């Protein structure tokens, strides 16, 4: 498109043209009609004998006819000139239409290219969006897993801190281990172990077992592999600061335990004096901790 303002009837060029001298051929063409009509009107009125004789004698009839003829010729000539201009203008318009068509074809082609480009871009964006969403989901899952793992580890840390701080000293050595593991089993740690696959769960449970072995050995002032009678692991501590209903609390927690499936839990919570046959008479911290992990977290 041209940078110039479009030409309209308000344009200066229009005002200049309309106020400038009309072309002679236009004036002769248009005015010739009125001139010819004036002569023709008089000619038609002069059909009487006298008038015809007078016009013929004076030559006025012939001159009038000559004027009519000249006006007609002017009209035809004006028509020819105007027709020529119109034809040239039409040719110009036709060429302009051709140019418009050519440009329209180019624009159509470009629009087609743009449409393809747009469709391709949209397809790529959609793919990218899917990939991005998948990646986001993965990241979310990882974040959730990490958060979950963090919370599970924190609970593990909190529970063993509590144990190490002596908060569970009201229970027997094995009872402390059971109480700690029971708390973990019903908390985030237990959820984490139940949700995740065997490999991850085994890692966490290994940590749990190691921490429990270490804490048990520490509480018993023994090495993890040092053996001691089972009754010493199950014996309730004595002292004034102990909770009176600690035994009942353990019994309540392990009320549903099956002596055949969970012999250690049963021994610790229900009848410390009558341990099932599957419970060894002599046991070390390592054996006790692993047995409880196995009985409480086996799914």
Partner 1 sequence: MSDMKVGLVLSGGGAKGAYHVGVVKALHEVGAQVDAVAGASIGALNGAILAAAPSLHEGAVRLETLWMDLANTSPLKFNFPAYIQLLAASGLHLASAGVLKEIVQKAQHIAGGAMPAGISNFLGGLNEGALSDTPLQNHINQYLDQEALNKGLPLFVSVFKHDHAFRDLLRCAVAELGIVDSAASEFVHIQSLPILEQKEALLASAAIPLLFAPKRINDNLYSDGGQGGWQKMQGNTPITPLLEAGCNMVVVTHLSDGSLWSRHDFPNATILEIRPQSNISREGLVPDILGFNAGKLPSWIEQGYVDTMHCVGRVMKATKSRVNLKVSEAAVVQSQDTARIDQEMQITMSRLSA
Residues near partner 1, by CB under 8 A: 1-4, 6-9, 11, 13-14, 17-24, 26-31, 33-35, 37-39, 41-43, 45, 57-60, 63-64, 67, 70, 82, 85-86, 89, 92-93, 96, 99, 103, 106-107, 110, 113-114, 117
Q: What is the smallest separation between the CB atom of 100 and partner 1, expressed in angstroms?
A: 9
Which CB atom, from 77 or from 149, has the smaller least distance to partner 1? 77
Measured over the CA atoms of residue 91, residue 95, residue 97 and residue 98, the dihedral's sign is: positive
The residues, ordered by sequence, that sit 6+ positions from 295 with a Cβ below 8 Å of its Cβ are: 261, 262, 263, 264, 265
Which CB atom, from 4 or from 165, has the smaller least distance to partner 1? 4
Q: What is the smallest separation between the CB atom of 188 and partner 1, expressed in angstroms?
A: 55
Distance linking the first and last C-alpha atoms of the chain: 79
Which CB atom, from 33 or from 235, has the smaller least distance to partner 1? 33
Q: What is the smallest separation between the CB atom of 39 and partner 1, expressed in angstroms?
A: 5
Contact 115, 123 (CB under 8 A): no
Q: What is the smallest separation between the CB atom of 145 and partner 1, expressed in angstroms?
A: 44
* Cα distances (angstroms) measured from residue 265 to each of 159, 219, 282, 290: 19, 19, 16, 12
Contact 228, 240 (CB under 8 A): no
Which CB atom, from 82 or from 160, has the smaller least distance to partner 1? 82
Name 283's bridge partners. Answer: 228
Q: What is the smallest separation between the CB atom of 141 and partner 1, expressed in angstroms?
A: 39
CA 66-70-71 angle, 5° bins: 120
Which CB atom, from 47 or from 197, has the smaller least distance to partner 1? 47
């Amino acid at each position: 498109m041209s940078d110039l303002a479009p030409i309209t009837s308000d344009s200066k060029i229009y005002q200049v043209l309309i106020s400038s001298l009309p072309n002679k051929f236009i004036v002769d063409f248009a005015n010739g009609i009125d001139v010819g009509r004036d002569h023709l009107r008089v000619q038609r009125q002069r059909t009487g004998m006298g008038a015809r004789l007078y016009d013929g004698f004076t030559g006025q009839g012939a001159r009038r006819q000559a004027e009519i003829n000249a006006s007609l010729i002017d009209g035809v000539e004006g028509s020819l000139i105007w027709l020529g201009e119109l034809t040239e203008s039409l040719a110009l318009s036709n060429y302009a239409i051709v140019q418009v068509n050519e440009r329209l074809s180019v624009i159509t082609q470009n629009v087609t290219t743009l449409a393809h480009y747009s469709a391709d871009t949209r397809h790529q964006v959609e793919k990218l969006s899917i990939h991005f969403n998948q990646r986001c989901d993965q990241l979310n899952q990882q974040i959730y897993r990490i958060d979950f793992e963090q919370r599970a580890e924190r609970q593990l840390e909190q529970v063993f801190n509590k144990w190490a701080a002596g908060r569970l000293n009201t229970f027997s050595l094995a009872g402390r281990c059971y109480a700690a593991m029971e708390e973990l089993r019903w908390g985030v740690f237990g959820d984490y172990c139940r949700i995740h696959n065997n490999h991850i769960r085994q890692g966490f449970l290994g940590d749990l077992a190691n921490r429990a072995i270490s804490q048990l050995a520490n509480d018993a002032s023994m090495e993890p592999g040092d053996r001691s009678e089972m009754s010493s692991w199950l014996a309730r501590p004595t002292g004034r600061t102990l909770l009176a209903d600690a035994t009942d609390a353990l019994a309540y927690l392990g009320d549903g335990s099956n002596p055949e499936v969970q012999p250690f839990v049963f021994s610790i919570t229900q009848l410390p004096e009558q341990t099932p046959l599957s419970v060894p008479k002599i046991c070390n911290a390592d054996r006790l901790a692993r047995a409880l992990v196995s009985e409480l977290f086996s799914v």
